[in-house]
Structure 1
């Protein structure tokens, strides 16, 4: 694990509220992510984890507060500036989002073809290097239909780092993986963060693997930031929400049902009419 207390934040949320239309998903969120850190954003299903990722990439703007990436206020960026900022980020999407008509090599090479003028020789070297980092150099020629789900997740990981981003966002990187692939993927995230000296954010609800590699953990729920701290600090927490989440207890403050919202009430009234 890396100590980054003195590093300026690559991504910073200050007193941020996020939502869609009139519905606020999260309120008063403050968090910092520095270079060299693996930060886990955790919470139950529907707690707002992916909303945080969308805000970090500028897909949605804060209802309140400030979000800065690389020292820039995201809400003040023009479309061209926002595009330039996103090129400094890598995103591993929840379902991988690979192009099924392209082979493994071309999937990883896609960002290089879109954003650089690299020669084919240079591109081959870079892509094979990134595939080697995820253990799939010899699978470069295979079609996506010819590889397993776990391998596809690693191809998507190689694509997310091919431009050597300064910030990598992983949306549920452990979902659907077998125990071996899960452990390998978790260690890859840690190793790549160290190797690239970037910042990594994991959106997840997988406690054991995240706690093995994370420097800092933020837990969201009930529409707010419940707590944050190192894995050791959270393991020792007596907060009922934290204890229920970490240990998967059926009884506690975490509600199973999605909360009733004004939008739902309006929809239901229209249905009844």
Structure 2
């Protein structure tokens, strides 16, 4: 736990933030913070706005209201140049991994170094092998992407996300599609890399069991707002019906299967009927 850290150690902060697209609000009145060295889970069901929150954290989506700060800078008001510099201090591991299929494992991981630094090839060799070693794939450096498994590809993408030694790493559904053994190994890998790099890590996930074993803090979103926050122990002890249902995966409770009716849907439907 890193509760002793000062405000200057807050890497990412959402203050009274509302996020959405056009007039549509996805998440309202969000308050959360991520500190140096912390591993934080952002959990919620499908469609709860987790990926929207990720887009706001990297400055791809500007808050409708409130302030998103990364490294103490308001992402809504920085210049494109400063935003680029801020993003270079972040690593993002997208759900699909998004490896270049025409490059081998080594060149995939080397790509950010070649694009964003003036490192010599000798330094690149050392840095890339170090990061591949950290994810257990040093001896796979020469392989084509088509020659490695899906779980290995995810680890290569992780090595690429951390090759610039970012101060903040954002993981979008890092456990999706992994078998139980790879899942446990990936979770431990994320914790170990966070501790080794001293960076802050945010896991966007709905995998409760695995993420709760490695995180310091949990934020849960749903119904368009922040529903709960605290340590994994805090959330497990909660009496909130929605949180309990989500954590236990129960079909009974306040979470319903149907997408809720909205004025926007009613308006759309009446226009469709008028056109028939």
Unaligned segments of structure 1, at least 5 residues: none
Q: Which position in structure 2 is the counterpart of 1:167? A: 168
Q: Is the 2:90–2:169 Cα contact (8 Å) retained in structure 1? A: yes
Task: Give 1:269 shift.
Answer: 4.2
CA RMSD of aligned residues (A): 1.2
Number of residue-to-residue matches in the alignment:
272
Aligned counterparts of 1:60 and 1:262: Cα–Cα separation in 2: 24
Q: Which position in structure 2 is the counterpart of 1:142? A: 143
Q: Which position in structure 2 is the counterpart of 1:13? A: 14
CA deviations on 1:41-77 (whole Å, 9 max, x unpaired) are: 0000000001110000001010010110000000011
Task: Give 1:253 shift.
Answer: 1.4
Q: Is the 2:39–2:203 Cα contact (8 Å) retained in structure 1? A: yes
Q: Which position in structure 1 is the counterpart of 2:134? A: 133
Alignment of 1:39-188 (within 5 A): 39-188=40-189
CA deviations on 1:16-40 (whole Å, 9 max, x unpaired) are: 0000111000000000100000000
Moved more, 257-266 or 26-35: 257-266
Q: Is the 1:23–1:261 Cα contact (8 Å) retained in structure 2? A: no
Do structure 1's residue 255 and structure 2's residue 256 form an aligned pair?
yes
CA deviations on 1:127-180 (whole Å, 9 max, x unpaired) are: 000000000000011111110000000000000000000000000000000111
With structure 2 as the length reference, what TM-score do the two structures score? 0.96
Q: Is the 2:37–2:198 Cα contact (8 Å) retained in structure 1? A: yes
Q: Is the 1:4–1:36 Cα contact (8 Å) retained in structure 2? A: no
Unaligned segments of structure 2, at least 5 residues: none
Alignment CA distance shift 1:194-1:63 (3 Å): same
Alignment CA distance shift 1:122-1:47 (3 Å): same
CA deviations on 1:168-202 (whole Å, 9 max, x unpaired) are: 00000000001110001000110011101010000
Task: Give 1:4 shift.
Answer: 3.6
Q: Is the 1:4–1:35 Cα contact (8 Å) retained in structure 2? A: no
